[in-house]
Amino acid sequence: MNKRIVYIALTLILLAVEVLIALFVHDSFVRPYIGDVLVVIVLYTFVRIIMPEGVKLLPVYIFIFSVVVEVLQFFDVVRLLGLSDSRFFSVLIGGTFDLKDIVCYGVGCVILMATANIGNIFVK
């Protein structure tokens, strides 16, 4: 149970940082790049709440999921599903395909892979 509590706290803290970035940071570096790096880390910590013992290749799966969502943006899936009027789905899925986002997701997943073993040492 201890791992779940840590991952819940991490998820909430990182999600709060993401929301603060989205609401208050309007620059050309933190919002577009750091936000995209953090989003995969938020996904990782969220999945670890459900699976506290982890999944061996979880950062790879999160990267694949993130790329799929980005490709869906390329095909304007929000419009195709008739959800264009929904601000929630427009923000959740996004509407602009950008290869730089995929690079940021990759950077976030590399950070996860590099720190996953360190995290397991401290979260028992």
Question: Considering the entire predicted model, what is its pTM?
Answer: 0.87
Domain limits for position 66? 2-122
Domain count, the chain: 1
Supply angle C-alpha 64, 66, 72, rounded to 5: 105
- What whole-number distance in Å separates Cα of residue 23 and Cα of residue 17? 10
- Sign of CA pseudo-dihedral 31, 97, 84, 40: negative
Per-residue pLDDT of 17-37, as tens digits, reads 999 998 999 999 999 999 999
Q: Which is nearest to 48 in space by CA: 14, 94, 92, 19?
A: 14
CA-based end-to-end distance of the chain? 9
Per-residue pLDDT of 40-78, as tens digits, reads 999 999 999 999 988 889 999 999 999 999 999 999 999
Residue type, position 38, single letter: L
With a CB cutoff of 8 Å and minimum separation 6, the contacts of 31 are 21, 22, 25
- What whole-number distance in Å separates Cα of residue 17 and Cα of residue 3? 21
